[in-house]
Structure 1
Amino acid sequence: MGQYAYLINKEKRICCESHKISGGGESLTRIEDGETLGRFLEYCRENQLQIECVSEHWFEQNVDFETDEPYTDFV
């Protein structure tokens, strides 16, 4: 089992999977889609958007899925 981390921009409510830390005997960090991650970072840089790194758990604690506008995956 692993834990995913996401880069988000709260203003535009966009997110991109940043990396996954795999559990088990040896910790392993893996980037699933480096191309999308690169485009997300470039888009935020070009538009001077603030980026935060959050865990999956952050969405459960800080986003009210019934009333808040959802975060959309950056493509």
Structure 2
Amino acid sequence: MEQDEDLPLGRMHPLRGEAFALALSIETIRRARGRSNPRDFALGSAQWEEASLDFARDIRWALGMNDEDDEDDEPLP
């Protein structure tokens, strides 16, 4: 089977390691601050969903993005 380098963050994609390191860093920072991570809850539970959204906000922050960046965009129909 050919390598999946063309797949978005597939097994052999060069950015996969960087994405994994970023996620682990965010998890570690959240844990140090006493905040929960999505993996602390059952998949699909209300707590998991809340932690996942909060985790996504932290990733956006780490990438230099914030909620104000979305205000200029028109909402999807």
Scaled by the length of structure 2, the TM-score of the pair is 0.30
- The structure whose residues are more often strand, as a share, is 1
- The structure whose residues are more often helix, as a share, is 2
Scaled by the length of structure 1, the TM-score of the pair is 0.30
The structure having more radius of gyration, on CA atoms, is 2
